[in-house]
Structure 1
């Protein structure tokens, strides 16, 4: 496990790090708590209890750190670490609970080691690939911030009448979401540009009682190579246009979904 660069800023973060240290080093939890407290610039855990705030109270402007280590075997085993700091509108666990984050694109191999830090335990094969993965995770965060949608793991809901035979034609790189306010299931589909048979998909939507709208946002999976479509059951009057307005550029905030520049 790669946790040497984790520096908690809250008491909850110290406890999370202590749990990881206990597992990694096989030490007592009390000893791990003191070590984790020192990583937070405290003398020991008792000092941390007196000086550190609880989760969510550490910063006026919340953020999250995303870290991936890489090893390039083709470049004489060059190694490195990429850490992306993502400023948030609210704490990450207010956007999505911890267990559901595993279903979010870009977060599958990222594990929460502190209240403000996620680390990937597997090595990326190149520096570029590590950066691409971090950018994917950030785009997913921006999507959740902009839409308020939560990941949804009941895949059967993605098919009208719960039947896989009713799957959206030419669907690719799809993810499942739910509007927590209404409980409405939302399908996000990100096929390669120009691939879907639009007429066939429109006929499917008419038959199923669904609506499909292509957005102008470059998407989470492969920006500018794939298109992002939103689809949902329209028979209960769900306002899909309002959701699409949140997704289109100018509503989903944050940096460009292109591969960002790192120093």
Structure 2
């Protein structure tokens, strides 16, 4: 076997090949190490050492739960629902991808960061099965990034060969960037049947044009349950070395698909709130409290609960009024879930009112059966003429009524003004919704 044909896969193999290269090419051993590492698919010996030594450590079990939510609506039956899956990742989603980068990853393009552990699809699919499939595709994209450290590229980088010809059979391509190496690679995910008889043609094209093509052990992001295959492609001279990426993918758990995904089951009318969403709300409340500083006023009293503290109006709002305000908020939330500027603010308002009412009435005056239905358990199915922007005028009327009821039931004070300000911002978001 020629030295040129050797492709070491261990540090020991790289060192042995480096000695041969150093003697054969009459170069220092450090240069031989870098050249041997390049044969193994790494940028240099330091990169090979870091990657291969890390691979000998038994990876810890993924410990960060991420929730992926997709709403669906059947246009024929008018039925609606929300499918949520949970995926375990080795790090939090905010460390895997920045919010501004979602639009560049095909599997995450229709998703928005909702909380530190929750992403939400801002479009609606036509059924529960398609919603689950879309959520799984997003999960696989996160798996790919978490394992490789790659980020979606904002540039559409063409893969061109001689006479401008593209890679034969290329399909469902995506561009990826390594923020450390400052280099790119590309993912090609054609259906297996489409390239089954074109492998020699693809290999010849890559050799002729100096592109590297490799098929990882991991099945891929696009549609592995439907027969797509993943190929990694890199410019042989300027692209990202494939060795470390292939190694990282070989250690990944199986891709998340509908058959193995972990679904989150919710009861009818129950609003899903992830642990991160609750935690984020608590942190925002604490920051707001610190920013405001201690307040003393004759119209308010301090309060402290397990998950909340602050000041509230020194007055009671009638239980019937609480019921009406709660119903108005729930109706708007259930119909505008895809509009974060509305839902986030209304969720904050009802959370605070939920705290206040517990302190205004004891269980004798406000039985649990009544309390639990005041501000939560909104409806899942919304009439077509109320859903989203179609019901804008009705939603505006509901929020205006809620504001009037709150303002007339409580004295003018900073806590009440804070609620009214959030409702006003929700109204602005509703009015500007295109």
TM-score tier, shorter chain, comes to: 0.5 to 0.7
**Higher Cα Rg: structure 1 or 2?**
2
Q: Give the 3 Å change call, closer, same or farther, for CA 186–128 of structure 1 in structure 2.
A: same
Question: Which ranges in structure 1 are unaligned for 5 or more consecutive residues?
Answer: 1-59
RMSD of the TM alignment (CA)?
Answer: 2.5
* Cα pair distance change 1:214/1:179, threshold 3 Å: same
**Which structure shows the higher strand fraction?**
1
Call closer, same or farther: CA 1:164–1:141 in 2, change over 3 Å: farther
Q: Contact 1:219–1:257 (CA<8 Å) still a contact in 2? A: no
- Give the whole-Å Cα distance in 1 for the aligned partners of 2:242 and 2:119: 33
Residue-by-residue CA offset, 1:86-122 (whole Å, 9 max, x unaligned): 3322221211111112222321111123333222232
Q: Secondary structure at the match of 1:123?
A: coil
How far apart in 1 are the matches of 2:120 and 2:234? 34
Find the residue that maps to 2:135 and give its secondary structure. Answer: helix
Partner of 1:79: 80
Which digits, 9 at most, give the CA deviation of each residue in 1:121-164, with x for residues without a partner? 322100000000000000111111111111112113x3258x99
**What residue in structure 2 maps to residue 125 of structure 1?**
126
Cα distance in 1 between the residues matched to 2:204 and 2:255 = 36
1:194 equivalenced with 2:193 (yes/no): yes
Say how many residue pairs are matched.
199
When structure 1 is superposed on structure 2, of 206-215 and 122-131 the one drifting more is 206-215
Match for residue 180 of structure 1?
179
Give the 5 Å matches for 1:147-166.
147-156=148-157, 158-160=158-160, 165-166=164-165
Deviation digits for residues 202-226 of structure 1, max 9, x if unmatched?
Answer: 1211122111112232211111401
1:170 alignment partner in structure 2: 169
In structure 2, how many angstroms separate the alpha carbons of the residues matched to 1:255 and 1:192? 16
* Distance in structure 2 (CA, Å) of the matches to 1:217 and 1:231: 15
TM-score (norm 1): 0.68
Cα distance change on mapping 1:83 and 1:256 into 2, 3 Å:
closer
Structure 2: 5+ residue stretches without partners: 1-61, 266-434
After the TM superposition, which residues 30-41 of structure 1 pair with which residues of structure 2 at under 5 Å, given as runs? none
Distance 1:238 1:66, change over 3 A: closer
Taking structure 1 as reference, are residues 239 and 112 closer, same or farther at Cα in structure 2, changes over 3 Å only? closer
Contact 2:102 2:112 (C-alpha < 8 Å) held by counterparts:
no
**Which structure has the higher relative contact order (CA within 8 Å, separation 6+)?**
1
Name segments (4+ residues, structure 1) moved above 3 Å. 60-63, 236-239, 254-263
SS across alignment from 2:131: helix
Aligned to 2:253: 253
CA distance in 1: counterparts of 2:63 and 2:163, whole angstroms? 43
Write the distance in 2 (CA, Å) between the matches of 1:235 and 1:199: 22
